[in-house]
Copies of this chain bind each other. A is one copy, B any other.
Amino acid sequence: MREAKWIWYPGDYELYHSIKLHARREEFGCEYPTFWALATPYPNVRFFKSYHADEADTVRFVTRAKGYVIVDDRRLPVNEDVVLPAGDHNVMAVLLATNGLPSLYADSKYLKTDDSWIADHMIVTVRVPAVCTPAYTDAADNPEEFCFAYQRLDAVKTVKTEQGTLYDFGRETYALLHIEGADAQSEIRVTYGESRQEALDHAEALIRETLQGQSDYVRPGRAFRYVCVQGADKARVWADYEYLPIDDVATFSCNKKNVNKIWEICAYTLHLNSREFFLDGIKRDRWCWSGDAYQSYMANRYLYFDPEITKRTIIALLGKPPYEQHINSINDYSMYLIIGAYEYYFATGDAQFISLYFDRLHALYEFIVGRLDEQGYVCYRDGDWIFIDWSDMDKGGPLCAEQILLWQCHKCMAELCALVGKDGAAYKKAADALQKRVMQDYWREERGAFIDCHTTGKENVTRHANIFAIMYGFVSHRRAQKIVRCVLENDAITQITTPYFEFFELGALCMMGRLKTAQKKIESYWGGMVALGATSIWEQYLPEQKGIEHYGMYGMKYGCSLCHAWGGGPIYLLGRYCLGVYPTDIGYKTFAVQPDRGLYRHVDGTVPLPEGHSVRVKMDAHSCTVTATRAGGTLILGGKQYNIPADRELTVEF
C-alpha cells in the first residue's frame, strides 16, 4: 500500500509559498515585498475518495483548516479519531482555511491520503486529482512550511576588523546565521556581504541588522559569503546552509581546468537559486521572474532534470485568472511562461501538468492577445513593462523582439491546445500572419538584420530580436547565417552585458555551428568573473570595470547580485552543444547525442534524461564513447548515426 501524504488542490501549495517568498525581500533594513499582483490559494476545497476496508478501521482526518468529513452519510469531525466500519465507502472532506493553505492528511490501514484522491475548489464541474509531494508524509508535517535541507557551515577564516569580526564562509552561500553566547545587553550589528567590501560597509550593505536582548540568535535565511558581526566578540558565529536537496545528474570535465571550474560554479549558482521556485538571485530580489526562470528551466534539464521545481515555478508565476497584468508586469515574461510550459511538456511528456493548468495558460494567452494593437503586435499599454534586456533599444513603437516571442507563443498555444483536445488552428494561423507582417515591417534584407522598431524611422539594430529569430527558428537557415555575419559577429552592434542575453546569444551561435565562439566566451566572460574571485555567477559583468565597481548596479554600491541564476547558461550550452544531447521526440522518447569537442581536446560528461536516466559522453581526438541508462538514443557523429543501446558502452573510433 502506498504511503500517506498531505494533499491539497493543484496549485495552491505553489501560490501559498509564492506569497511567503515574495514577502521576504529586504533592503537597507526595509521590508520590500514584490510589486506585481499575486494570487492566493483557494480558501475552501474538497477532497474525495472511494475505498474499501476489509475490517473496521480507525482514521483521523488531520488538517489545520476548519472542516468536516462525510463518510457515506455520516458527518465526522476532523482532528479526532473516528472508527469507520468494514465495507465500501465514499469519503468527502470539506475544508476552509481562514488563513493559509487548506490541506488534508489521513493515514489508517485502509485509507491514506495521496494523489489517488480527487479535489475540487467547491466547483463540481472542475474535479481534478489532488496533489502531494513526498516531502509531507507525517501527520505532524506542515505543507505551509517548505522543506529545505540544512548543513552546518563554519567560517573558513575569521578576521578582527575595525568594523567587527569578519567571518568568511569561503564561498557564496544562503544560510541562517547563528550567533550563540552573545551578551544579551549588547547591541550587535550584523552586516551581510556577498563581497568582503559589502560586509565591511554597514552603511551601504543591502542586508544588515541590529540585534539586542538575547544571547542566542538564529537569523532568517540570507545570502552571503562574508558576515561582519560587531558587538559579539565572544559569541560563536556559524551558518546553517539552507538548500533544496536535489542531486546533480550532470557532470562535465574537459582538458581545461578553468572551464571545469566555471561549470562547477555555474552548477553551484543554479543550486543556490533553486529553492521553492527558481529565483533570480539570492541576495537582493529573491523573487521569481519568468524570464530568468525560463533560462533556469533550460539549465535544469542539463543539470538535475528535476521536473518538480520547474512545475512549481511555472505554477507560481502563472497565478490565477482573471489576468489584469503581465507576469511580473513584463510583456515578454508572460510569453516566456507559455513557451516555457510547452518546452517543459516537450522535455518531459507530462501531459497531466498541461491539462491541469491549461485553463490558466489559456487565460494568460487571451490576456496577451487582448492587448495587441490593430496589427496584432505586442505594444505598450498602461501598466506594461516592455523589457527584453537591460540594453538600449528603440522602444518607440512595437519592438521586434516582442513580436518574435509572440510568434513562438502563438505556436506553443496551438500545440498546448492540440494536447488537451482543443482546436488551436486559429493560433497557428495568427502565428503565420504575424510572421509575414514582421518580415515586412522589421526585416532589412540589405542589412541582414531585424530592426528594433519600424515606426520611429530610427532603423536601430540590436542583437536581441536577431538572436530570437535564430533561437526560435523564425527565419530560414540562409537568413540565420546572414544574421550571424551581419549582427552577432558584427562588433559594431552593441554587445550584450548580462549573462541573461549572453546565454541566448551563445545558444543561437551554437545552433549556427559556432560552438567555439561560445566556448571562448565562456572562458572570457564567465571566466572573467571567476578570475576576479567569483564563487557564483553574477547578475552583470562588464569586463572594463575595476574593483568594487563590479558590485554596483541600479545605483546601489552593492546592488549587483553576485549569485544570479541566469549565470548558469554554460550548463545548458555545454550539455546541449558540446556533449550534444537533445530530445528528438516528446519526453526524450528518442534523443540524439551529437557531440562536438570544439576547442577542447577531450570532454567527459553526463547529461540527465527524464526520470533519473542519463547519458554519458566521452570524446577525444580518437574516439567517442556513449553510455545511456536507457534506450532511444542515436549517436550522430561524422555524418553517421549509431543506435545507442541501453546500459552498454557504445564506442566509435575515428
B66 adjacent to A33 (CB under 8 Å): yes
Contact of A34 among B40, B44, B125 (CB under 8 A): B44
Does A458 belong to the interface (CB within 8 Å)? no
Closest B residue to A99 by beta carbon equals B99
A383 to chain B, nearest CB (A): 4
Q: Is the beta-carbon distance between B40 and A33 smaller than 8 angstroms?
A: no
A67: CB under 8 A from chain B? yes
Do A77 and B19 touch (CB < 8 A)? no
Question: Which of A111-119, A320-328, A333-341, A563-571 faces chain B?
Answer: A320-328
Render A90-107 as a binary contact track against B, CB cut-off 8 A, 1 for contact. 000011101110000000
The reply on A472 being an interface residue by CB < 8 A is: no
Partner of A67, one of B33, B66, B67, B95: B33
Q: Does A29 contact B (CB under 8 A)?
A: yes
A123: interface (CB < 8 Å): yes
Task: Known contacts A33-B66, A37-B122; decide if A96 and B43 are in contact (CB<8 Å).
Answer: no
Is the CB–CB distance between A96 and B22 below 8 Å?
yes
B96–A33 CB distance below 8 A: yes
Interface residue from B19, B95, B329 paired with A33 (Cβ < 8 Å) = B95
Q: Tell me if B125 and A382 are in contact (CB < 8 A).
A: yes
Residues on the B chain within 8 Å of A78, using CB: 31
Contact A322–B321 (Cβ < 8 Å): yes
Bound-state CA distance A377–B29 (Å) is 60
Interface residue? A38 (CB, 8 A): yes
Could you say how many copies of this chain the assembly holds? 2
C-alpha gap A38/B35 in the complex (Å): 25
A324 touches B31 (CB 8 A): no
- Return chain B residues, CB-CB under 8 Å to A33: 44, 65-68, 94-96
Cross-chain contact A23 with B77 (CB below 8 angstroms): no
In angstroms, Cα B37 to Cα A126, docked, is 12
**Once bound together, how far apart are the Cα atoms of A95 and B31, in whole Å?**
9
Binary CB contact string for chain A from 32 to 67 against chain B (1 if under 8 A, 0 otherwise): 111111111011100000000000000000000111
Q: Mark A370-394, 1 if CB is under 8 A from B, else 0.
A: 0000000000001100000000000
Interface size class of A (residues with CB under 8 A): 35 or more
**A285 to B: closest C-beta gap in Å:** 14
Roughly how many angstroms separate A65 CA and B44 CA in the complex, as a whole number? 22
Q: Does A20 contact B (CB under 8 A)?
A: yes
Closest Cβ–Cβ distance, residue A402 to chain B (whole Å): 19
Once the chains are docked, how many angstroms separate the CA of A127 from the CA of B94? 36
Q: Which A residues, 115 to 149, have Cβ-Cβ distances below 8 Å to chain B?
A: 121-126
A76 interfacial by beta-carbon distance below 8 Å: yes
Distance, CA A75 to CA B556, complexed state (A): 13
* Chain B residues within 8 Å of A100, by CB: 99
Known contacts being A33-B94, A43-B40, is A126 close to B19, with CB within 8 Å?
A: no
Does A647 interact with chain B (Cβ within 8 Å)?
A: no
User: A66 to chain B: which residues have CB within 8 Å?
Assistant: 23, 31, 33
In this complex, what residue of B is CB-closest to A75? B30
Nearest CB on B from A363, distance (A): 8
How long is the Cα–Cα vector from A122 to B19 in the complex, in angstroms?
Answer: 14
A126-B96 contact, Cβ under 8 Å, with A68-B31, A75-B28:
no
- Given A33-B94, A37-B44, 15 more A-B residue pairs with CB atoms under 8 Å apart are A19-B43, A19-B98, A20-B98, A22-B44, A29-B77, A33-B44, A37-B42, A40-B43, A99-B99, A122-B329, A123-B324, A123-B325, A123-B383, A125-B382, A125-B383
Kindly list the 10 A-B residue pairs having the minimum CB-CB distance in the complex, ordered from nearest: A33-B96, A99-B99, A37-B122, A124-B383, A23-B66, A40-B40, A30-B77, A31-B66, A30-B68, A123-B324
Interface residues of A (CB under 8 A from B): 19-20, 22-23, 27-40, 42-44, 65-68, 75-78, 94-96, 98-100, 121-126, 321-322, 324-325, 329, 382-383
